[in-house]
Amino acid sequence: MQILGILQADSAKLALVLDMSIVDARFEVQLLMAQILQVNRAWLIAHDDEILSVSDFALYQQYLQRRLQGEPIAYIFGEKEFYGMTFKVTPDVLIPRPDTELLVELALLNIPEDKRLRVLDLGTGSGAIAISIANARPLTQVVAVDKSPAAIAVAQTNAALLGVINIDFVVSDWWQQLPEGNKFDLIVSNPPYIVENDDHLKKLHFEPISALTAGVTGLDDLRLIIDSAAHFMTAGGHILLEHGYDQADVVQGLLTTAGFKNVKSERDLGGVERVTLGQVG
Ligand SMILES: C[S@@+](CC[C@H](N)C(=O)[O-])C[C@H]1O[C@@H](n2cnc3c(N)ncnc32)[C@H](O)[C@@H]1O
């Protein structure tokens, strides 16, 4: 079959089944096809009169069926780009989101290139945040924590594939398995913060629920992190927390109550207060 005909028919099908715009659906089927042919979208558009081989069409159909079931493209391809690097992702880890790049950018603003700071990433998942920071600041020593051994295995693989060595991985339930006496100059976290039974979860059912929800208010994990953070931080150290679109005020309050100063929130590209920062008093 001709590429153009396949793309047109399947864009319409995907848009209908997943209730997305035809523009987004066309972009996605182009991505699936481009991945199989190992070309970019520009090539695909310029060569849409070509005929797909039987084996390529069969593989494309497999990918398309998975996407029609709602599986995210990142899981189908097994990878996701984040902060300029490609991360391996499996269903054991959350797919890193573009919004989370704000957390990395803000963290780097607080890590001078010539300083040997210690950085902690709580809930590292694929390792996207920890590895991006470690890669951009080779003098830092980063510790990446997750409760899920499977997630830690993915993060370790990513660090190895990307050649990032200034990072250690620890399986830990937040602070519990971190050795006593560990102190960090900067702590970052994108913890679970979605309210249990939130409607948005229906669209996220391929991703690990343990990476997404945090009790009936969505604040359980943020509270656990904030309550003990200062104990693990050096004087003047910074904490940066990603949270939900409507949680900035409450996270600011939690940090202030816990004794942090210079508490403020920063907006993501969509204008949403997405990351809240504080400094040990
Ligand atoms: C929202 S995901 C963030 C993943 C990654 N940092 C990112 O930004 O793409 C939250 C992560 O926290 C981890 N997590 C959940 N509960 C935890 C706990 N009690 N202790 C440590 N990690 C936990 C999950 O396994 C998951 O990898």
pLDDT in tens, 27-36: 999 999 999 9
Alpha carbons within 13 angstroms on the beta-carbon side of residue 210 total: 14
Q: Where is average pLDDT lowest: 96-110, 126-140, 203-217, 236-250? A: 203-217
In this model, does residue 269 exceed pLDDT 90? no
Strands 167-171 and 184-189: unpaired
SS3 159: helix
CA distance 121 to 155: 12
Q: Alpha carbon of 114 to those of 10, 15, 102, 155, 279: distances in Å?
A: 52, 49, 22, 26, 21
Cα(79) to ligand 1 centroid in Å equals 18
In this model, does residue 108 exceed pLDDT 90? yes
- Please tell me the predicted confidence (pLDDT) of residue 78: 97
193 lines ligand 1 (CB under 6 A): no
Pocket test for ligand 1, best of 147, 206, 243 (most atoms within 8 A of CB): 147
Closest ligand 1 atom, residue 95 Cα? 9
In this model, does residue 202 exceed pLDDT 90? no
pLDDT (tens digit per residue) in 205-255: 899 999 999 999 999 999 999 999 999 999 999 999 999 999 999 999 999
Q: Alpha carbon of 228 to those of 86, 175, 231, 239, 269: distances in Å?
A: 33, 8, 6, 12, 30
CATH topology of domain 79-280: Rossmann fold (3.40.50)
- Please tell me the predicted confidence (pLDDT) of residue 259: 97
- Tell me if 135 sits within 8 A of 112, measured CB to CB: no
- Please tell me the predicted confidence (pLDDT) of residue 150: 98
CA distance 156 to 146: 11
Distance of alpha carbon 96 from its chain centroid, rounded? 2
Residues of the chain with pLDDT > 90, as a percent, come to 93
92 lines ligand 1 (CB under 6 A): no
Cα(169) to ligand 1 centroid in Å equals 13
| Average of per-residue pLDDT values in the chain | 96
CA distance 116 to 92: 32
242 lines ligand 1 (CB under 6 A): no
In this model, does residue 277 exceed pLDDT 90? yes
Residues near 117 by Cβ (< 8 Å), separated by ≥ 6?
A: 111, 137, 139, 140, 141, 185, 186
pLDDT (tens digit per residue) in 37-74: 999 999 998 999 999 999 999 999 999 999 999 999 99
Q: What angle do CA 153, 155, 158 make, to 5 degrees?
A: 110
Residues of the chain with pLDDT > 70, as a percent, come to 100
Span 153-176, mean pLDDT?
98
Cα(180) to ligand 1 centroid in Å equals 21
SS3 80: strand
In this model, does residue 95 exceed pLDDT 90? yes
- Tell me if 166 sits within 8 A of 138, measured CB to CB: yes
- Please tell me the predicted confidence (pLDDT) of residue 203: 85
- Please tell me the predicted confidence (pLDDT) of residue 264: 98
127 lines ligand 1 (CB under 6 A): no
Cα(151) to ligand 1 centroid in Å equals 9
pLDDT tier for residue 180 given thresholds of 50, 70 and 90: confident
Tokens representing 13? 């099908």
